[in-house]
Amino acid sequence: MASANAIFIVANVPTKDSLPLRRLSESGCWYASSRPIVRYNKVVDSQLIIVRTESKNVSDNPQLKVDGQVDRPKVFSFEDLAAWPAERQVQDVSRFAPKRQGDAVRLSAILEAVQPSDAATHIGLHGTLDNFHASIPLAPVLESAFLIYRLNGQPLSVKDGGPFRFFIPDHAACHTDEIDECANVKFVDHIELTVGKGFDNRPTDDDEHAKLHQG
């Protein structure tokens, strides 16, 4: 895990504006992506973007807030989720998606704990780290989706999409345009139940969508 004030070279680009960066943590670590630049430290020789971490990785003490149209809004810690019984857990998510690793808790188990209202129709997935938000219909994913929170017994790191990574094993099976690959949201720290579609800033342009999933 990165120490305080460690320096990382994360991109080799002609100018500071040619390749946007995505935040890895609130401490100030960034990496190349198709999302907008928020800040950078400096450019050296117009080629290397150098960024600095200034505090510990945010996944050291991950918390998941679940609120909105629920009877019992809660904040879950890593320890809370790890203590749940086996029937609420998904051991080794690579069984469902070979490119994914770690353990998860079932979305249905999370919602059982907070008791969604009958009026709730959508689930909002919010990632503070990169300001990414998706709002999707709840019913098609209720029984299939899960939240990856652990890898090798430890909290999911930011580089693996932590603190929490929402995943739908077969999003195409949901048979709705509102549920696509972008609904598998990384860096989730807040789940919100809403009546109707909530805030959603997923790309709508095909080119921007393709850029989002490069790498």
SS3 75: strand
Tell whether 31 and 82 lie within a shared domain.
no
Tell whether 42 and 140 lie within a shared domain.
no
Tell whether 65 and 164 lie within a shared domain.
yes
Which of these ranges, 32-41, 110-119, 158-167, 204-213, has the smallest mean pLDDT?
32-41
What is the token pair recorded at 135? 């709002």
What is the token pair recorded at 187? 């860096």
How far, rounded to the nearest angstrom, does the alpha carbon of residue 40 sit from its chain's CA centroid? 22
Tell whether 117 and 179 lie within a shared domain.
yes
Tell whether 97 and 165 lie within a shared domain.
yes
Q: Which domain holds residue 176?
A: 58-194
Tell whether 122 and 74 lie within a shared domain.
yes
| 132, 200 contact by CB (below 8 A) | no
pLDDT tens, position by position, 70-129: 999 999 999 999 999 999 999 999 998 888 899 999 999 999 999 999 999 999 999 988
- Domain tally for the chain? 2
Tell whether 64 and 161 lie within a shared domain.
yes
SS3 63: strand
Tell me the average pLDDT across 8-17: 39
Angle formed at CA 211 by CA 103 and CA 197, multiple of 5 degrees: 65
Angle formed at CA 183 by CA 197 and CA 130, multiple of 5 degrees: 95
Tell whether 48 and 149 lie within a shared domain.
no
pLDDT tens, position by position, 173-208: 433 566 677 788 999 999 999 999 999 988 775 555
Domain of 150, CATH number, reads 3.90.420.10
Distances (CA, A) of 45 to 50, 116, 214: 11, 54, 27
Tell whether 99 and 180 lie within a shared domain.
yes
Tell whether 21 and 98 lie within a shared domain.
no
- pTM over 0.85, yes/no: no
